[in-house]
Structure 1
């Protein structure tokens, strides 16, 4: 049985080369400004280890010749490695791993990675090693490594080599190896004042200078140890060797404190000078760790979730990595939330629609962070407008993959590793990303009541996305409805009809229903604005009455396809063939990449009723079943209470869950019809990264949307919590494995809204304060809770 302390730890015993990539990802430490993978300090990128440090928003654009054409990519840059540190008894061999024994412990409560190891060299000299590592949540430019070395059976001179390595490349994803990997160009390296080690490198497009300054000091029992220091440099690399006296049984501690700065930091001056000042003035490791732990304590108080099940430790791990990827230190950087965190190079560090899963968590915990993400989107509104114009449409067309500029960063070719062929990539046709932005705008407004945000930026985004959908809708006289053609849905497998000569699908149900919702919310946003601001926006956007009337018309007449009483994934879905599931499951134990399997066989998944992940069912993740029925009825379609159950029954056996998001969505949707199945999917989503269920993808970066989604399943799904009509709606649906759930929320200015749910009761309480009371709706009843009040209601 696990102890409560173990639920705040991630621990690994021994050294397993096959598992090292996953461990390095999950043991990463970060603070929203940067994240460093949990690679051993003595390691290099050798096929087993992959050291990596990634700065939020630090991209570089390069081009590569592929198949006779130039392929351009913008990559999140693997920045200089600040970790390198190794040792040897003088005259011996530098320790490069692996250790004779090892234990890794990631302390989630305090944000510290600790490594215990035993090192034995070729002459039988044994040294005990204890290393602690942090990326400061209090001082985001500082990272630190403390190494305690204990000679077990030898005495004599001890040499410690500490380095900064700017020669690293982007080599963390095997399928990208045919593309340009070099992004860093050396600018300066060498020794600085007071024994500091200095390094500066630069990227080319966009140009950015990245500077590091390292301070390495040795002490014994808190007293400085005299050391002889030698410095060695080469292009893009600087190292220093400290030689100290070591005695058997007496530990020597080496502290390496590194400052990281760029010329694009807020209030940036010269980055090398800034890094030098920060590193020289930093406190010792103990001081840095104490203030770092204090900040983590504050974060955990705002993230309190109490639940009685044995996966709570993994849930905390997911929250931990979310808060390392995006924090208060991200707010001033003009960055979005990368789908794979800042933990690796998968998806090139781009921003997708995964923020749809993340922001619903942040809205009710850290609304200031949610707004910063939306501000990132607003600053790229101009790029989205340009993209719409280039497509011959109006409004704003947000890109499926976004990076530094807001242009479309999706690849136009992708490699199938199973066949070795480069294939056309049509994923940029996932126009539903704009609806995700609009949804996030409205949900943030509902959670915070922040009319200033709506007036300043939110409504403008909503209106331009609504305008895009109105412009994209085409009238079909035969059907007497509007259609949206040539798009992809969330499924991603189906990117064309097998009988068509162009990419894209028509009338994807998820896309169309959500477009109808966006058109309605655009009009609601106008109504919510103060009169003067409303008039200003109407004038600025040239949004006249005729266009707004068209929004009403299109929003009520979009085509939504059905077949056999269920929502069709897209128009024509019923014409697809059934896959021989028994045959393929017999021949392929893992069908998550069914698209690659079929392509390698000379076939295409476009021919079959087979989905990578939830598509039409995504509607029931964003909205309650009652709301979905209301949206369909607004469009003129009868929708009974059996629609959800029938739709789930159709798609579930035809979905291979090739995305970690799929388990989250299915856990959510099945809550209303099969709670045991919901819990199974929840457990799958919890295990996705910890057990690398996608087969090698976790080593390339965490799946941040799925991580946030698991927390949100407890926060909103199992409590039945919705935010709409200026009220908190509750309709608990606890699985049998979950007896009680209690959490704290931030809602409409209240930092202390506590919701507790068990089998018999729902309790809502507010801390004392001067805020307005809140409205709560529970299964048809409505009541008000005032600050300082606690309401207990029977189920």
Structure 2
């Protein structure tokens, strides 16, 4: 087995959907599924990040509106025929060999086949395909023919196919999928082109193609919604002949995208030939891998890790950072969930923060651009701040469908999942952790954090001395209400309530970092009060998932164990999952995943509860027995929380998470699109959980490794506060590789980062030609404290801040970033060990 290639041997019609999804090629701007260029079955799909369209459909007698990521015209079709035979189709062909190979290092999909026609002529065909990471508008398909026992003409038909719809998910086929209209085709100076426009969003897309190779130029045949060109290759026995299809895809969403057709034609006209295009593309991938490298022992594990990194970067690449696009739950690999953005960024961005922080910042910007819509949604619902939707698409409105189909019963049922308000908590968590990883809190990120805090503070209602949050759903998704109640939603979901407490405390800290956005004192006082008096329920010595959870029935797990979608199975049986203590995925246990035992215990104590030492362990055991793992995210979370409790069980969940899409653990769903959140979460499990990486205030990175024995040596580069470090760890020791190589003890701070505040002190000191001692004397503080402020990411208190600004002949506003996209430091710098030798008066 090669750790850098994914291989499929033979033609398997039943498995084509899964292979197509896992062989998708993309560059963060657009992606094309690994469908064959010819034959059936095939589910072609080309998807442009952020390109959505809305259609009305009549379902169960009701008109419903759905917004989908749009399946764009198919640039792949290419088929061929020997003299006297029909067009090649793999399902009908006499195949002597058939193989797909996905090169993960360089992003190239190769198909090789040997085919014998009815006359006994054997032809070897090799196709190489790429979606360029170097030029994000380009893609290419190279086909090489070798006649093994014959000579003569080979006919080749190339097509740009506009007759496509969104039909990749069976349960959506009662809904309209004809998003494209207004097709036009044409030919221009040897180039062919096709344009189409989405029906309601009015996004124009354009494809232009150039054919290179050993065949004479062919005149295209224009159809209204497709364009074909027929070529003839004169094959000589044993001599390879090539035909290459270079394609450019542009749209009116592009910068300066007022004329996509002209732009596509320019791109394809200027594109190099295939070999140079491939070289540039491979070089771009090599650059990505230098930052994304995550090495583990053994080719099988390595292959799966590389596959996950590969698909993550195909969906979210440096190109994505410049787009207005979020984290689609199923990647750009299929049409499941309609390409919508849920909360999967919660699992993806932590890995990106320490590798490609510019990408994660771009993803946060997607949320910020939709802040006005979130504010309007909150106001319309009677709340303050910003209420983000559970499903987001083009403009940030709630895209959750009102009805969903249960494939097990064939019935359309109400969908209450829009009540998962916790998506806002995920956004806030990502803002904060991007700040911890980079030392950067742009004002617009602070604005996001504060407005989300305002919403949850207004959502909380004071009852009998405790704040309660009612009418919501947690991450579990099975429970959307109480048994027999007509009122949807639950009261006091523990995950929502406790993460709201976490948010209130972080929002108050954010207000210090962004003083020009600081809320009024009364609002800060309210946040503090909510953070101290939130209600949390308990039963049987564990944290209750929501009020009344302990009163629900126990499920007959002997009957239903192994059924991942209990909600569908029970509904098909005439029952209701709301009646039972059963979870689709981690809900309460998400608190252990995001906060860890220590912080979770601290929050409970802050709320006035007295958690005993066994509370969290009992809670984990309790819900683990009652979870069906109906989401691929479930294995990630449980592997994480068991890593320091049950290494064997953690390993089992880790392997399930790592093989989830390759083995299609959810039973056919991967064919509709990869599970991007599970992929990102699995990578972060390796990076942060098993290595014990902890990002702390003050620019400190802590290491507490507990690498599973069977994982062997884990090696990776990380980018922390703008500095590159290299980590090697196994189950015995961990090393930080830089100018000095040494072994670190568990829990030791391995790195501190200089924040922007410290860099600004250095800038002004050097501008004035002052030493640290001179600055310290002018500012009436110790030289040691000035040195600390320069080398770390903290800020002093207000009095010292003003004296420091005077000493450096600048303003406090300038030292704190001037209200621009230059964030301040990390708060009061008093609790660091390097200051223990200083008197407090020396730092004030």
Does the pair score TM above 0.5? yes
Q: Which moved more, 1:326-335 or 1:21-30?
A: 326-335
Match of 2:50 in 1: 57
1:785 Cα offset (Å):
6.7
Change (3 A) 1:784 1:472: closer
1:269 Cα offset (Å):
3.4
1:777 Cα offset (Å):
9.6
In the TM superposition, 1:363-374 aligns within 5 A as 363-374=353-364
Q: Which of 712, 715, 723 in structure 2 is aligned with 1:742?
A: 715
What SS does the corresponding residue of 1:654 show, helix, strand or coil?
coil
Q: Is the 8 A contact 2:721 2:753 kept in 1?
A: no
1:228 Cα offset (Å):
5.4
Q: Is the 8 A contact 1:325 1:341 kept in 2?
A: yes
Q: Does 1:259 align with 2:245?
A: no
Unmatched tracts of structure 2, length 5 or more:
755-844
Q: Does 1:116 align with 2:92?
A: no
Match of 2:59 in 1: 66
Q: Which of 188, 198, 206 in structure 1 is aligned with 2:201?
A: 206
What SS does the corresponding residue of 1:335 show, helix, strand or coil?
coil
**Counterparts of 1:155 and 1:442, CA distance in 2:** 66
What SS does the corresponding residue of 2:397 show, helix, strand or coil?
coil
Q: Is the 8 A contact 2:709 2:730 kept in 1?
A: no
Match of 1:87 in 2: 80
Q: Which moved more, 1:339-348 or 1:101-110?
A: 101-110
Q: Is the 8 A contact 1:302 1:744 kept in 2?
A: yes
Q: Which of 466, 472, 477 in structure 2 is aligned with 1:492?
A: 477
Match of 1:125 in 2: 121
In the TM superposition, 1:712-731 aligns within 5 A as 712-726=684-698, 727-731=700-704
Match of 1:434 in 2: 424
What SS does the corresponding residue of 2:110 show, helix, strand or coil?
strand
Change (3 A) 1:441 1:125: same
Match of 1:297 in 2: 286
1:499 Cα offset (Å):
3.7
**Counterparts of 1:245 and 1:762, CA distance in 2:** 61
Q: Does 1:634 align with 2:606?
A: yes
1:706 Cα offset (Å):
0.4
**Counterparts of 2:710 and 2:217, CA distance in 1:** 61
**Counterparts of 1:245 and 1:656, CA distance in 2:** 59
Q: Which moved more, 1:207-216 or 1:325-334?
A: 325-334
Q: Which moved more, 1:14-23 or 1:777-786?
A: 777-786
Q: Is the 8 A contact 1:189 1:236 kept in 2?
A: yes
Unmatched tracts of structure 1, length 5 or more:
220-224, 769-775, 788-795
1:526 Cα offset (Å):
1.0
Match of 2:662 in 1: 690
**Counterparts of 1:369 and 1:467, CA distance in 2:** 27
Deviation per CA, 1:288-319: give whole Å up to 9, x if none: 00010001011111012222244121011000
Deviation per CA, 1:414-441: give whole Å up to 9, x if none: 0011111100000100000000000000
Q: Which moved more, 1:89-98 or 1:198-207?
A: 89-98
1:330 Cα offset (Å):
1.4
**Counterparts of 1:337 and 1:412, CA distance in 2:** 22
Q: Which moved more, 1:629-638 or 1:413-422?
A: 629-638
Q: Is the 8 A contact 2:704 2:747 kept in 1?
A: no
Q: Is the 8 A contact 1:395 1:465 kept in 2?
A: yes
Q: Does 1:560 align with 2:536?
A: yes
Q: Which of 500, 512, 523 in structure 2 is aligned with 1:547?
A: 523
Match of 1:316 in 2: 306
Q: Which of 225, 228, 243 in structure 1 is aligned with 2:232?
A: 243
Q: Is the 8 A contact 1:93 1:121 kept in 2?
A: no
Q: Is the 8 A contact 1:448 1:747 kept in 2?
A: yes
What SS does the corresponding residue of 1:395 show, helix, strand or coil?
coil
Q: Which of 650, 660, 665 in structure 1 is aligned with 2:622?
A: 650
What SS does the corresponding residue of 1:415 show, helix, strand or coil?
strand
Match of 1:107 in 2: 103
Match of 1:571 in 2: 547
1:548 Cα offset (Å):
1.4
Aligned length: 748
Deviation per CA, 1:626-671: give whole Å up to 9, x if none: 1111121111222233222111110112111000000000000001
Answer with 1 or 2: which has the greater Rg: 2
**Counterparts of 2:367 and 2:501, CA distance in 1:** 21
Change (3 A) 1:78 1:748: same
**Counterparts of 2:360 and 2:532, CA distance in 1:** 31
Change (3 A) 1:786 1:400: closer
Q: Which of 542, 556, 571 in structure 2 is aligned with 1:580?
A: 556
What SS does the corresponding residue of 2:71 show, helix, strand or coil?
coil
1:121 Cα offset (Å):
2.5
**Counterparts of 2:207 and 2:119, CA distance in 1:** 36
Match of 1:218 in 2: 213
What SS does the corresponding residue of 1:327 show, helix, strand or coil?
coil
Q: Does 1:276 align with 2:265?
A: yes
The alignment's TM-score, normalised by the length of structure 1, stands at: 0.92
Deviation per CA, 1:140-173: give whole Å up to 9, x if none: 0000000001112222222111110011110000
**Counterparts of 2:27 and 2:285, CA distance in 1:** 10
Deviation per CA, 1:235-268: give whole Å up to 9, x if none: 2100000123222221110010000000110122
Deviation per CA, 1:364-407: give whole Å up to 9, x if none: 00000000000000000001101101111000000000001000
Q: Does 1:157 align with 2:153?
A: yes
Q: Is the 8 A contact 1:753 1:767 kept in 2?
A: no
What SS does the corresponding residue of 1:328 show, helix, strand or coil?
coil
Q: Which of 382, 386, 391 in structure 1 is aligned with 2:372?
A: 382
1:780 Cα offset (Å):
5.3
Match of 1:791 in 2: none
1:578 Cα offset (Å):
0.3
1:765 Cα offset (Å):
3.7
Match of 1:21 in 2: 17
**Counterparts of 2:173 and 2:748, CA distance in 1:** 59
Q: Is the 8 A contact 2:389 2:421 kept in 1?
A: yes
**Counterparts of 1:38 and 1:707, CA distance in 2:** 19
Match of 2:3 in 1: 7
**Counterparts of 2:694 and 2:347, CA distance in 1:** 14
Q: Is the 8 A contact 1:740 1:756 kept in 2?
A: yes
What SS does the corresponding residue of 1:286 show, helix, strand or coil?
helix
Match of 2:492 in 1: 507
1:779 Cα offset (Å):
4.7
Which runs of at least 4 in structure 1 moved beyond 3 Å after TM superposition? Answer: 765-768, 776-787
Change (3 A) 1:487 1:778: farther
Q: Is the 8 A contact 1:153 1:248 kept in 2?
A: yes
**Counterparts of 2:388 and 2:753, CA distance in 1:** 41
Q: Is the 8 A contact 2:11 2:90 kept in 1?
A: no
**Counterparts of 1:778 and 1:507, CA distance in 2:** 41
Match of 1:78 in 2: 71
Q: Is the 8 A contact 1:729 1:777 kept in 2?
A: no
Tell me how large the CA RMSD over aligned residues is: 1.7
Q: Is the 8 A contact 1:766 1:786 kept in 2?
A: no
Q: Is the 8 A contact 1:166 1:186 kept in 2?
A: no
Q: Is the 8 A contact 1:766 1:785 kept in 2?
A: no
What SS does the corresponding residue of 1:200 show, helix, strand or coil?
strand
What SS does the corresponding residue of 2:218 show, helix, strand or coil?
strand
Q: Is the 8 A contact 1:266 1:333 kept in 2?
A: no
Q: Which of 356, 360, 365 in structure 1 is aligned with 2:346?
A: 356
1:786 Cα offset (Å):
9.2
**Counterparts of 1:675 and 1:35, CA distance in 2:** 38
Match of 2:448 in 1: 461
1:230 Cα offset (Å):
3.5
The alignment's TM-score, normalised by the length of structure 2, stands at: 0.87
Q: Is the 8 A contact 1:133 1:146 kept in 2?
A: yes
**Counterparts of 2:582 and 2:390, CA distance in 1:** 22
In the TM superposition, 1:385-534 aligns within 5 A as 385-451=375-441, 453=442, 455=443, 457-477=444-464, 480-529=465-514, 534=515
1:597 Cα offset (Å):
0.5
Match of 2:222 in 1: 233
**Counterparts of 1:525 and 1:670, CA distance in 2:** 32
Match of 1:287 in 2: 276
Deviation per CA, 1:503-538: give whole Å up to 9, x if none: 100100000000111111111001123xxxx23x24
**Counterparts of 1:620 and 1:592, CA distance in 2:** 22
Change (3 A) 1:362 1:767: farther
